[in-house]
Structure 1
Amino acid sequence: MHPRDSADIWSRTRRVRRGFVVAGVLVALLGGVLGADAIRRHIEGEADLQTDPAFYTLPAPLPAGEPGTIIRVEEIASAPLGSTAWRVIYHSRDLHGTDIPVSAVVIVPDLPAPAEGRTVVAWGHPTTGAAAKCAPSLGVDPFQLIEGLHEFLAEGYAIVATDYPGMGVDGASAYLLGVPEANSVLDAVRAARAIDKAQTGDEFVLWGHSQGGQAALFAAERAATYAPELTLLGVAVAAPAANLSELMSDDIVNVSGVTIASYAIPAYEAAYDDRYPDGEIAAILTPAGSAATPEMAALCLLSQNKEIHAIADPLIGGYVRSDPSTTEPWETLLKENSAGSQPLTVPVFVGQGLADELVKPKATEDYVTLLCSQGADVAFHRYPGVTHGLAAYASLPEMLLWLSTVTSGRTPSSTCP
């Protein structure tokens, strides 16, 4: 997500199509209810913050557990109106298969669940940072970034939203590392099944935006082998970070690329320390870039935007020595963490804003072309004038229609030639 786009994700438009008198009454009543609920949620959210340090602090060493096994769970008092939610910490696996703890939130509607259990929408959030404190579940409103939350609840879906490894619970960052991100998404679905009151079934759909698009696509590629007891129905992404080589090459010349790289470099150094000698991954940095990276990597995109710009803006054009996409070992690592190495056998939805300056339309076009060449069933939608921050919201109307199609067992129409 571009730092300047961060405010866009709060922008939504609604219309009232009623007569003046009826509309006035409904708006007044609805405004009163939603206003009171917003106050309640804020108060409860502030109270939740007081208990967060104890909840997220785990014993060391952590007792071993199978992927998806719950370590700790608590109900969230500030759940949206008409829903019940939990904060959960569960076992997952890192790039090397090592047991790690990961945090997430689970939300279900206060509606009767079907006999087979609720279908799950597994959400992959866009970039919020790479440090533990930047986890969405740690926010006063831990549901704020889940694009489509209210629509999914209204349709009876359960929502599972992982923080990704290293966020929420202290640990090594998995920023833009496809395998551990994917594992954390799939294991969050497993963890939700272990919450009796959630009443989730074994069917799920993946939905992700930007970084979350990469996580969702990798999860789709890995689902059948990593979590064979689950049934993946489809994967939907908006402005996905699918091709990291194109993403880094396109953006390293601006503040977005500097920010993304500052999050990725420490994560890649830790993940690949067994493959590359100390300093080889970070050697791409200029002296100024090397000095600035630790401080930038500790900043959160949404809450510390001003601080990020103060450090990153002067580094534009002078953060790295060369284009990472054509410089080893980055050339190899970016390819390894780009989606598309395995064909997808479930329906795919892709939404892309044509005014996106972070995930460029061409990068998504290239990924869709790859999917089509692999025989995937792809519904590709382009949105003129839509920037990166609004890509998921712009996609929602058509994504929801696609979702109802795949969850009803029908095959959506494909835009592949």
Structure 2
Amino acid sequence: MSALSRRRVAAALAAIGLCLCLTAPSAAAQGSLTGVEPIDPARAFAASALSIEIGYTTTDQRGAPAQASGALYLPRGLPPAGGWPLVVWAHGTVGIGDSCAPSRRPQSDRNSTYFNRILDSGYAVLAPDYQGLGAPGQFSYYNTAVEGASILDAVAAVRTAPVPLSSAWAVIGQSEGAHAAMSAASLYAESGGRAAAGLRGVIATGLRTDPPRSLREMFRRDSTGSANQVAYAAYFLAALRELHPERVAPYLSDFGRDYVESATTRCLSELVSAAGGLRPEALVADPDNPTPTFESDIAELTGYRDDNLPTDISLGYGTADIDVPPTTTDSYATTLQDLNPRIHVTLDRYPGQDHSGAFIASLPNALAFLRTHLR
């Protein structure tokens, strides 16, 4: 960012009472805003009138105080009475290294198309990186506690800034972000929302509905699916290894040890390329049993209560999805509705759409959902 652009952003921030500063998280309570920085326009959404990177406090995978980062995008024009309604963007898999943090990278064409429409529709967009991405510590991939706290604490943090935001918010998640959105909703129900009160809806596309089972299937020698799956598998193994090294490291292949280590720094596309076409089975000594405690460890990492959800849920998937095959999504939607009779669970299928394509295809339904839930 040029010095002139930085001065202009600084002036805009000053106009709403924010400074270009960052304080140590140890001095701030969980869910506190610890600083803001301007975002280079090359990394922002074109429809955003003001784009700022935020620092805030949350907790890591061991429940210890930690710093997190994210971005806040404000729409053009004056806010409505009561402030702009807030849409939280729970991003999908990008990697687990700091350089992979979405706030530090240019927006993809897909995400730009989607969120420019959201911003043009009058919603502010908050995009947490998840703790450990772009901040100290290793991101614990698909960790329910980390993802959920990262979202709720980001909402609480931006509310302490003098930005005109409504008390109502919704979360939109794709792929890993769908899991993060569901994790946040479950944690919200358990905590009562607290400083992040006002959750009005969850939109989740490409949700992995049964991680222990689907991931075991992904490792099998006869498994099929996208080339991305070897990277997904490595990120999962890196998260399990970080939490329980003795349960993972001895069961990796020679290739797997190197590849899982490289997964801690390489972002998705680079990591997939480095696999040279190998499948998840190449990462472990026994593809039929990746580790002796694989399913229980994945359940511990990714599990959330889904019988206490506090708000309406909109699920969606592409029928041609080979990244996260939706083999159990229909039945899961039925189960969610049965477990949560006080809310409304909807399911949208997008014929012929793959994992990413379903996200764009879901935009009209997402806008309709937001109009009814963020009045």
**TM-score interval, normalised by the smaller of the two chains:** 0.7 to 0.9
Q: Distance in 1 between matches of 2:21 and 2:99?
A: 12
The 1:57–1:258 alpha-carbon spacing in structure 2 relative to 1, beyond 3 Å, is: farther
1:340/1:367 contact within 8 Å kept: no
Matched residue, 1:283: 250
- Counterpart residue type for residue 261 of structure 1: A
> What pairs up with 1:220-299 in 2 under 5 angstroms?
220-226=185-191, 227-229=193-195, 230-252=197-219, 253=223, 255-270=227-242, 272-273=243-244, 278-299=245-266
The one of 269, 277, 280 equivalent to 1:313 is 277
The 1:138–1:347 alpha-carbon spacing in structure 2 relative to 1, beyond 3 Å, is: same
Matched, 1:66 2:38: no
User: What is the CA RMSD across the aligned residues, in angstroms?
Assistant: 3.0
TM-superposed deviation, 1:90: 0.6
What per-residue deviation string (whole Å, max 9, x for no partner) do you get for residues 253-286 of structure 1? Answer: 454332112112222232x34xxxx421333322
> What pairs up with 1:9-408 in 2 under 5 angstroms?
62-78=25-41, 79=44, 80-81=46-47, 83-141=49-107, 145=111, 148-196=114-162, 198-226=163-191, 227-229=193-195, 230-252=197-219, 253=223, 255-270=227-242, 272-273=243-244, 278-302=245-269, 304=270, 308-311=272-275, 313-314=277-278, 316-322=280-286, 328-336=292-300, 337-374=302-339, 375=341, 376-408=343-375
2:251/2:290 contact within 8 Å kept: no
User: Tell me, what secondary structure is at the counterpart of 2:69?
Assistant: strand
Structure 1 consecutive aligned stretches of length 4 or more whose deviation exceeds 6 Å? 56-59
TM-superposed deviation, 1:141: 4.3
User: Tell me, what secondary structure is at the counterpart of 1:314?
Assistant: coil
TM-score, with normalisation over the residues of structure 1?
Answer: 0.76
2:87/2:124 contact within 8 Å kept: yes
The 1:395–1:322 alpha-carbon spacing in structure 2 relative to 1, beyond 3 Å, is: farther
Matched residue, 1:3: none
Deviating more after overlay: 173-182 vs 289-298: 289-298
Bigger CA radius of gyration: 1
Deviating more after overlay: 138-147 vs 223-232: 138-147
Structure 2 residue runs of 5 or longer lacking an equivalent are: 10-19
2:216/2:288 contact within 8 Å kept: yes
Structure 1 residue runs of 5 or longer lacking an equivalent are: 1-39, 49-55, 409-417
Q: Distance in 2 between matches of 1:314 and 1:215?
A: 28
- Counterpart residue type for residue 132 of structure 2: G
TM-superposed deviation, 1:143: 9.4
Q: Distance in 2 between matches of 1:200 and 1:319?
A: 46
The 1:183–1:300 alpha-carbon spacing in structure 2 relative to 1, beyond 3 Å, is: same
Aligned pair count reads: 350
The 1:324–1:76 alpha-carbon spacing in structure 2 relative to 1, beyond 3 Å, is: farther
1:340/1:371 contact within 8 Å kept: no
TM-score, with normalisation over the residues of structure 2?
Answer: 0.84
**Percent of matched pairs sharing the same residue:** 27
User: Tell me, what secondary structure is at the counterpart of 1:269?
Assistant: helix
- Counterpart residue type for residue 30 of structure 2: P
TM-superposed deviation, 1:218: 0.4
Q: Distance in 2 between matches of 1:366 and 1:312?
A: 36
User: Tell me, what secondary structure is at the counterpart of 2:27?
Assistant: coil
1:69/1:190 contact within 8 Å kept: yes
The 1:190–1:383 alpha-carbon spacing in structure 2 relative to 1, beyond 3 Å, is: same
